[in-house]
Structure 1
Amino acid sequence: MTEDEMRKRLAALRTEHRDLDIAISALSDTGGPDQLQVARLKKRKLLLKDQIAVFEDYLTPDIIA
């Protein structure tokens, strides 16, 4: 995977993470019986956060001071 492809994938992951945040907020505000769905979305959001961290770590050069 090239660096450009990794940057595109990172942008897509960030967008999906943001969209999940909005969906979780909307479901939580309704307070309905969809708590299982909210839990699943939160779990997916955490997985995305981990993937984002991996890409960011790879794309950010280590600076030795």
Structure 2
Amino acid sequence: MAVAERMEALRTKHAALDRNLEDAIHRPLPDEIEVLRLKKEKLRLKDEMARLHHA
């Protein structure tokens, strides 16, 4: 997979995680473990995008 394709796939996943995170945070009783998992995954994707950008 080309770098540009991988970046686009990561951006798409990152955006989906962002929506899921917003939904999780705004629930009446947010699941803190799920919120933390989504935040960590979102950060992992952001780090991978940064590495690809600087490679």
Q: Which runs of 5+ in 1 are unaligned?
A: 59-65
2:19 corresponds to which of 19, 22, 35: 22
Note the aligned Cα RMSD (angstroms): 1.3
The normalised TM-score by structure 1 is 0.77
Aligned residues: 55
Matched, 1:39 2:47: no
Aligned to 2:52: 55
Q: Residue type of the partner of 1:23?
A: N
Aligned to 2:10: 13
Q: Give SS of 2:29's match.
A: coil
Question: Per-residue deviation at 1:39?
Answer: 0.2
In the aligned structure 2, how far is the partner of 1:56 from the partner of 1:33? 34
Question: Per-residue deviation at 1:33?
Answer: 4.3
Identity of aligned residues (%): 40
In the aligned structure 1, how far is the partner of 2:5 from the partner of 2:28? 35
Runs of 4+ in 1 over 2 A off after TM superposition: none
Q: Give SS of 1:25's match.
A: helix
